[in-house]
Amino acid sequence: MISRKQAWALVALTLMWGVNWPMMKLSLSGMTPLYFRASTMSLGAAWLFAYVALRGERMWPQGREWGTIALLGLPNVLGWHTLSIFGVQALASGRAAILGFTMPIITVLIGALFFGERVTPRVRLAVACSAAAIGLLLWHELARLSGRPTGIAWMLGAAGCWGLGTVMVRRAHLTLSPMVVTVWMLALGSAVLWVLALALETPVPVASFSLPMWMSLAYGVLINYGVAQLIWFGMARDLPPATSAMSIMAIPLVGTLSATFIIGEVPHWQDWLAMVFVMAAIASVLWPRNPRTLS
């Protein structure tokens, strides 16, 4: 059983990461994608670095750890955060969240294809459910005159990067804590994003930002790259597998529902049905096999 404190922390984490999807969409109404990612990620990494350093953890990688962290950061930070922000720009934020959370299924498939992990009936069910969800969302995008099926490609690419990065992290050998590794991945990734933003985009004058815009940026820095990360790393190792699965399944649901109130997006029936399929797929690959492990 998880404690009451862990339960409340998990609820808070699910709400924070779910609400982040429409908040990103709100930010993109007044800011270009790469500048948004570069600014929020670099500021978030800076205050996370200060927080973790004050706790007395060893902060500086040694020797080959620099190369390992940079390699891990390519899919986990640069790939996921860059591709997903273009996906959010092109799609409804709830739809982007649903596609982004096909990641657990992709992680299992990568393990099966490249690392010899067994393909179980659960994996086959997860793949079928994910394919159905993607088909529903792609059908809806193609059916609309203003549809952006390329947004689906962005999000699937982002989920693929996240899944690959997850597999790589599991096999990495580092002496630093996972939180410190994440801080450095964010710092290195934001440096690359600043270069790309300066080269490819025209900055929007800060004076033109509205109050909701400033609030959405603050949310990205303080909540998405800050408090949520601290909660996750503070409790991730202690969570039962079933509880982790429930949290991950709920995030796209929270994202879709909160988008209605934050930015006025109205989900279609394809979105709801696709969400059911994705939640079923996540449950298939993450739910414990032994009922005695459930809490």
Q: Which of 207, 234, 233, 229 is nearest to 41 (CA)?
A: 229
Name the amino acid, one letter, at 285: V
Residue 237 lies in a domain: yes
Tally Cβ neighbours within 10 Å of residue 184. 22
Residue 282 lies in a domain: yes
Mean pLDDT within 243-265: 82
In whole angstroms, give the CA distance from residue 295 to residue 291.
Answer: 9
State which residues form the domain around 113. Answer: 4-202+215-288
What pTM was estimated for this model as a whole? 0.86
How does DSSP assign 31-65, residue by residue? Answer: S-HHHHHHHHHHHHHHHHHHHHHHTT---S--TTH
Residue 294 lies in a domain: no
Q: Using 50, 70 and 90 to split pLDDT, how confident is the model at 18?
A: very high
Q: Using 50, 70 and 90 to split pLDDT, how confident is the model at 295?
A: very low
On average, the pLDDT of the chain sits at: 86
Residue 295 lies in a domain: no
Mean pLDDT within 112-123: 78
Q: Using 50, 70 and 90 to split pLDDT, how confident is the model at 148?
A: low
Match 């596609």 to its residue by tokens. 99
Name the amino acid, one letter, at 80: W
* Per-residue pLDDT tens over the stretch 38-93: 999 999 999 999 999 999 999 999 989 999 999 999 999 999 999 999 999 998 89
Residue 210 lies in a domain: no
pLDDT of the residue at 47? 92
In whole angstroms, give the CA distance from residue 17 to residue 197.
Answer: 25
pLDDT beyond 60 at 146: no
* Per-residue pLDDT tens over the stretch 196-240: 999 999 988 888 899 999 999 999 999 999 888 888 776 655 666
pLDDT beyond 80 at 285: no
pLDDT of the residue at 215? 94
CA gyration radius, the chain: 19
pLDDT beyond 50 at 293: no
pLDDT of the residue at 180? 93
Total domains present in the chain: 1
- Here the tokens at position 220 are 């990205």
Burial state string for 62-81 with b = 16 or more CB within 10 A and e = fewer than 16: eeebeebbbebbbbbbbbbb
